[in-house]
């Protein structure tokens, strides 16, 4: 297993503005660490710098307590799985899997021992003589994973490996990759733009935007306590409902259309003194007023029936807010639906800086059971 340390890492091209700015990060041995962010945020560039495929402009990179800034990829004791799988079309599955071992002059006996153990684990035993063109997307993905596993490198880097798969296969491969990582005790750094992948796979997540770290933490921490408005809007599906707000005495006016009584909540002086507030609420915290008092009536502008849950979208001023309710709800577009919005489930942000001022209260078990 390998610990990875990034100290003041930066990257620029042709001495122009940095595309990565002072990245400080420590990834523990055996950790499944996810880099997530929108396209162009710098996550793949950062991964390629760790792999040795991109030069480091500034800072220090350590793998297993060894500075590796100027080491070529082959000397960093790592493996990498690419988005396009990078299989050789003229080689069969067995030859693709063993390609790296042959390049390293590993003995034929050891190659076959590692091959058998790996293909048994990956379910590829019956496909060894097939060419990549004869494989499905999921099978190609497993071959790329097998090539990484057979190398027995303690550090594995993955660059959006599931983006070419359909939704059902992606869900299956998420479980397979996570199980494989735990079984082999790998340190894994996984790049994705899909926040659902990040939330379901990572021990910790780093959210990157415009080359800067927005937040690092456990998935549930990022969901419940987003450091800023970017993380709040990026992590979670559907994303957090946000709206500009004004606090007048004990009343909060959101988007000039929604009044929320704050009388029962003690707000900090920092919130009271912030001129431009933005509030946020998660979709599951806008509750149907069935067993609760209705605090508002909102007009439905869209309904998504997903079978196990219903998504209802409401217009709140210039914003669209979505509620997520378990089960199947018979509501129609244009209908005014009574809902319950609890003031202790609001997050408060400074609109100008984007920083979190106050997180929502933790969800209680009985609240989860009722929703």
| pLDDT tens, residue by residue, 196-240 | 899 999 999 999 999 999 999 999 999 999 999 999 999 998 999
Q: Is the pTM of this model over 0.75?
A: yes
Together in a domain, 125 and 160: yes
User: CATH number, domain at 34?
Assistant: 3.40.50.300
Q: Which domain holds residue 212?
A: 4-224
pLDDT of the residue at 176: 86
Whether 145 shows a pLDDT value over 80: the answer reads yes
What's the mean pLDDT in 229-258? 92
Whether 369 shows a pLDDT value over 90: the answer reads no
Together in a domain, 209 and 273: no
- Is residue 92 a part of any domain in this protein? yes
Together in a domain, 255 and 208: no
Percent of the chain scoring above 70 in pLDDT: 97
Mean pLDDT of the chain: 91
289: left (phi over 0), alpha (psi -120 to 50) or beta: beta
What's the mean pLDDT in 40-58? 94
Confidence of residue 370 (pLDDT cuts 50, 70, 90): very low
pLDDT of the residue at 249: 81
How many C-beta atoms surround the C-beta of residue 132 within 10 A? 18
What's the mean pLDDT in 323-334? 94
Residue by residue, DSSP assigns 238-256 as: SPPEEEEEEEETTEEEETT
What's the mean pLDDT in 36-46? 93
pLDDT of the residue at 364: 61
How many C-beta atoms surround the C-beta of residue 344 within 10 A? 11
Number of domains in the chain: 2
Together in a domain, 245 and 204: no
- Is residue 211 a part of any domain in this protein? yes
What's the mean pLDDT in 333-345? 94
Confidence of residue 137 (pLDDT cuts 50, 70, 90): confident
| Closest by CA position to 146, among listed 104, 184, 115, 185 | 115
Whether 42 shows a pLDDT value over 50: the answer reads yes
| Closest by CA position to 171, among listed 193, 203, 197 | 197
pLDDT of the residue at 128: 95
Residue with more model confidence, 233 or 121: 233
Q: Are 192 and 159 in contact (CB under 8 A)?
A: no
- Is residue 308 a part of any domain in this protein? yes
Together in a domain, 77 and 177: yes
Together in a domain, 316 and 214: no
Mean pLDDT comparison of 147-151, 267-271, 278-282, highest-scoring range: 278-282
Q: How long, in residues, is the chain? A: 371
Distance CA 241, CA 56 (A): 38
Q: Are 169 and 133 in contact (CB under 8 A)?
A: no
pLDDT of the residue at 170: 85
Dihedrals φ, ψ of 173, to 5°? -70, -30
Q: Which residues pair with 188 in a beta bridge?
A: 32, 156
| Closest by CA position to 111, among listed 155, 82, 146 | 146
Q: Take residue 369 and report the two structure tokens written for it.
A: 């059971």
- 28: Cβ–Cβ under 8 A, 6 or more apart, which residues? 3, 187
Together in a domain, 217 and 364: no
pLDDT of the residue at 86: 83
- Is residue 230 a part of any domain in this protein? no
What's the mean pLDDT in 129-146? 90
pLDDT of the residue at 363: 66
Whether 371 shows a pLDDT value over 60: the answer reads no
CA 256 to chain centre: 33
SS (H, E, C) the chain: CCCEEEEEEEEECCCCCEEEEEEEEEECCCCEEEEECCCCCCHHHHHHHHHCCCCCCEEEEEECCEECCCCCHHHCCEEEECCCCCCCCCCCHHHHHHHHHHHCCCCHHHHHHHHHHHHHHHCCHHHCCCCHHHCCHHHHHHHHHHHHHHCCCCEEEEECCCCCCCHHHHHHHHHHHHHHHHHHCCEEEEEECCHHHHHHHCCEEEEEECCEEEEEECHHHHHHCCCEHHHHHHCCCCCCEEEEEEEECCEEEECCCEEEECCCCCCCHHHHHCCCEEEEECHHHEEECCCCCCCEEEEEEEEEECCCEEEEEEEECCEEEEEEEECCCCCCCCCEEEEEECHHHCEEEECCCCEEEECCCCCCHHHHHHC
Together in a domain, 51 and 189: yes
Together in a domain, 49 and 147: yes
């Amino acid at each position: 297993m390998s610990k990875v340390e990034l100290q003041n890492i930066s990257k620029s091209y042709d001495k122009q503005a940095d595309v990565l700015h002072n990245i400080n990060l420590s990834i523990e041995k055996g950790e499944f660490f996810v880099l997530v962010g929108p396209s162009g945020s710098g996550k793949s560039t950062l991964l390629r710098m760790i792999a040795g495929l991109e030069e480091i402009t500034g800072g220090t990179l350590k793998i297993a307590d060894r500075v590796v800034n100027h080491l070529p990829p082959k000397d960093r004791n790592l493996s990498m799985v690419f988005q396009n799988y990078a299989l050789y079309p003229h080689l069969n599955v067995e030859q693709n899997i063993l390609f790296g071992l042959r390049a390293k002059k590993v003995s034929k006996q050891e190659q076959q021992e590692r091959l058998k153990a790996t293909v048994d684990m990956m379910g590829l035993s019956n496909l060894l003589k097939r060419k990549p063109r004869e494989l499905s997307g999921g099978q190609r993905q497993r071959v790329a994973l097998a090539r990484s596993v057979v190398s027995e490198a303690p550090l594995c880097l993955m660059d959006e490996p599931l983006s070419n798969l359909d939704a059902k296969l992606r869900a299956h491969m998420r479980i397979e990759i996570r199980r494989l990582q735990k079984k082999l005790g790998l340190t894994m750094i996984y790049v994705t733009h899909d926040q659902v992948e990040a939330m379901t796979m990572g021990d910790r997540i780093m959210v990157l935007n415009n080359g800067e770290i927005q937040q690092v933490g456990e998935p549930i921490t990022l969901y419940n306590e987003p450091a800023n408005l970017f993380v709040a809007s990026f992590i979670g599906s559907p994303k957090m409902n946000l709206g500009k707000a004004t606090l007048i005495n004990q009343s909060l006016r959101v988007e000039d259309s929604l009044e929320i009584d704050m009388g029962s909540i003690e707000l900090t002086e920092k919130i009271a003194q912030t001129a431009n507030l933005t509030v946020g609420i998660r979709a599951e915290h806008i509750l149907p007023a069935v067993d609760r008092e209705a605090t508002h009536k909102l007009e439905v502008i869209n309904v998504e029936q997903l079978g196990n849950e219903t998504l209802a979208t409401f217009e709140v001023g210039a914003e669209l807010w979505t509620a997520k309710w378990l089960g199947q709800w018979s509501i129609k577009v244009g209908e005014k639906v009574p809902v319950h919005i609890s003031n202790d489930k609001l997050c408060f942000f400074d609109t100008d800086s984007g920083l979190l001022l106050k997180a929502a209260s933790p969800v209680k078990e009985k609240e989860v059971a009722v929703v």
